[in-house]
Amino acid sequence: MSTQKGNLVSEYFSSYSHELKSKMMRLDALIGRDHWLSVGNYKESLLRDLLASLLPKKFEVSTGFILSADEHGNEIKSKQQDIIIWDSSEYAAIFRDNDFVIIPPEACKAVIEVKSTLRKDTLKRALGASDEFFMFVNTPLSQNIDIKKYIFSFGSELKFPHDIYDTLSSFYNETKLNIDERIEHTSKLWPGDKSYSLFSIDGVFCLGLGAIIRDFRGFGDDVRFMFKAYHPNSPGKDTLYAFFEHEINRQINTFHSPGMYYAKQPGLLALMKNLDITPHAEKPLMVYPPVEEERMHDDINYTKVFVPTLP
Give me the residue spans of the domains in the chain.
2-56+112-304
Segment among 28-37, 150-159, 194-203, 238-247 with least mean pLDDT: 28-37
* Rounded average pLDDT over 66-95: 95
Span 224-281, pLDDT tens digits: 999 999 998 876 778 899 999 989 988 988 655 666 666 666 666 666 777 888 999 8
Q: What SS3 state is found at 143?
A: helix
Give 92's pLDDT tier (boundaries 50, 70, 90): very high
Give me Rg for the CA atoms of the chain.
19
Which residues lie below 8 Å from residue 270, measured CB to CB, with a gap of 6+?
A: none
Give the distance, in angstroms, between the CA of residue 205 and the centroid of all CA atoms in the same chain.
7
Sign for the pseudo-dihedral over CA of 163, 80, 173, 219: negative
Whether residue 74 is predicted with pLDDT greater than 70 in this model: the reply is: yes
Range scoring the smallest mean pLDDT among 2-6, 103-107, 178-182, 250-254: 2-6
Strands 210-219 and 100-103: unpaired
What pLDDT is recorded for position 19?
83
